[in-house]
Structure 1
Amino acid sequence: MKKLGIVGGTGPESTIDYYQSIIAKYQEKRGTKEELPELLINSINMYRIFELLENDRTEELVDYLAEAVNSLERAGAEFAVIAANTPHIVFEEIQQKVKIPMISIIEETVSKAHEAGLEKIGLLGTKFTMENDFFKIPFTEKQKDVFVPTDSEQAYIHEKIVEELENGIVNPDTKKEYLAIVSRMIDRHGIEGIILGCTEFPMIFKPEDLSIPQLNTTEIHVDKIVETIFDE
């Protein structure tokens, strides 16, 4: 069994979801409720990440996240993940600064979209995820088209992530508007699936809510994490 290190707190709600989901899937794979995976969580400051991104202090962001991973390695982690989508904006730079392997939430989501045969895909996330290309490029390299909401829709989505979802608040009006945004993206672009590119989105999006497949990045990431724990 490999010992996992999680960079969490990115935000806190999704870190809890990761922890609970990893345990559930691990126990399912083991076939017993009397086993638990050994893992480490380094809970860092999500708001510092946002501040560094807002001010284009990319090198500081890389150093901050790399040190979080290195702390996990010193504590005994054999591989690591960042329990959020937005910090993956500097994933490659972080991997170059750490010794233990890391699992990319984006790489695993691309694989899942390919497996599902999706070619035109919508992307929701923080403004950093939607505005930048770090999530889109791996899809376009696989000849898949990625579409994001309009600027005003992006602003609304980001605001509600920061003010509500990151604080564990699920507002029915926010959910209604989120679903309306996806519906408009289906009409505008003919998207065949939607990437839930914020690990808090499972709080608000449920599988039965939409007529198109949802790529739940948290679930996709956790599946690969549990698989890796069992790798020899």
Structure 2
Amino acid sequence: MKKYIYGLLFLGLTSYIIPSENTETDPVKLEVKTQKMNTLGLIGGTSWHSTLDYYSTINQAVNDHFGNNTNPPLLVYTLNQAEVHRFQREDKWDSIAGMLIHAGKSLNKAGAESVMFCANTPHKVYKSVQDQLDFPVIHIADATSKAIHKKGLKKVCFIGTKYSMTEDFITGRIEDNGLEVLVPKEDKVINELHRIIIEELTYGEVKPESKKYVLSVINKMIAEGAEGVILGCTEFPLMIFEDDLNVSIFDTTKIHSQSGVDYILNE
């Protein structure tokens, strides 16, 4: 019995320490690339539907880059969207900033070297949050501006929540990058777009009549000279697609996600 046990132990040890004779030509080993990747933190939950798009888009892009199933060092912190919306209604943006700061610090403590907000509207408090963090927050407007310039466009339109359409924390930063941005002007239109986001899209619900309305708003601004449209709410890509319009669509979810990929891959 002892001889049998010692024999198995010896076999196990020799199997572990003796390398394969075909190490240099092993196809499994050859397909694995080695590359230092930065760790990115995603602050999501606003909504979880769009956060899922960020997560899947980043993972797929890194898989494609390596040509295998290499996954990125990605951390996710999910905010309570109901609480965020309550603070929005109560105009307590400092409280929202506090939530984002806490999330950012938690992700950094867990190993994230940079973070991004997985939505447009939280960028209203971007400066307040960035000032409290000693690592970078990747801004959605900077990435979007770069994508628009790449297309050679000068004038685009923007739709999003009422906060991002009536204030300039997104559109102003895009204009600072040398672009002209059209937004809806009528309160009735702004409020209806906001309602569609909050009451429908954040729940993953896409109503045909709501889609028709959103397209009519976009087409009106295209008639006013917009050469492309920025889907400035990360829920709108659930509803509006390339085939719906005859101009370029700038999906801020995909664009922002790609900037996260670039950061992870040191590009």
TM-score strictly above 0.5: yes
SS at match of 1:122: strand
Match of 1:48 in 2: 83
- Between the two proteins, the alignment pairs up a number of residues equal to 230
**Stretches of 4+ moved more than 6 A in 1?**
none
1:62-77 alignment runs, 5 A limit: 62-77=97-112
- What SS does the aligned partner of 1:228 have? helix
Kept in 1, the 8 Å contact 2:159–2:231? The answer is yes
2:167 corresponds to 1:132: yes
Are 1:102 and 2:137 matched, yes or no?
yes
Within 1, Cα distance between the matches of 2:175 and 2:60? 34
Q: How does 1:167-178 map to 2 (within 5 A)?
A: 167-178=203-214
- Greater RCO, CA 8 A, separation 6+: 1
RMSD: 1.4
Shift of 1:60: 2.2
SS at match of 2:157: strand
Cα distance between partner residues in 2 of 1:48 and 1:116: 38
AA matched with 2:63: Q
Q: Work out whether residues 104 and 133 of structure 2, in 8 Å CA contact, stay in contact via their aligned partners in 1.
A: yes
1:118–1:97 distance in 2 versus 1, CA, 3 Å = same
Match of 1:214 among 234, 249, 256: 249
Query: Counterpart of 1:4?
Result: 40
TM-score, reference length from structure 1: 0.94
Q: How far off its partner does 1:100 sit?
A: 2.0
What code does the residue aligned with 2:39 have?
Answer: K
Aligned to 1:230: 265
**Which structure would you say has the larger Rg?**
2
Equivalent residue runs for 1:106-117 within 5 Å: 106-117=141-152
* Identity over aligned pairs, percent: 37
Cα separation, 2, equivalents of 1:16 and 1:142? 29
* Counterpart in the other structure of 1:145: 180
Which residue of 179, 185, 188 corresponds with 2:215? 179
Q: Is the 8 A contact 2:141 2:174 kept in 1?
A: no
TM-score, normalised with respect to structure 2? 0.82
* 1:3-38 CA-partner distances (Å, limit 9, x unpaired): 111101011100111111111111011111x22112
> 1:105 is aligned with what amino acid?
I
CA distance in 2, matches of 1:191, 1:50: 31
For structure 1, the residue ranges without an aligned partner over 5 or more in a row are none
Question: Counterparts of 2:183 and 2:63 in 1: how far apart (Å)?
Answer: 37
Moved more, 112-121 or 61-70: 112-121
Q: Secondary structure at the match of 2:243?
A: helix
Conserved 8 A contact 1:11-1:166: yes
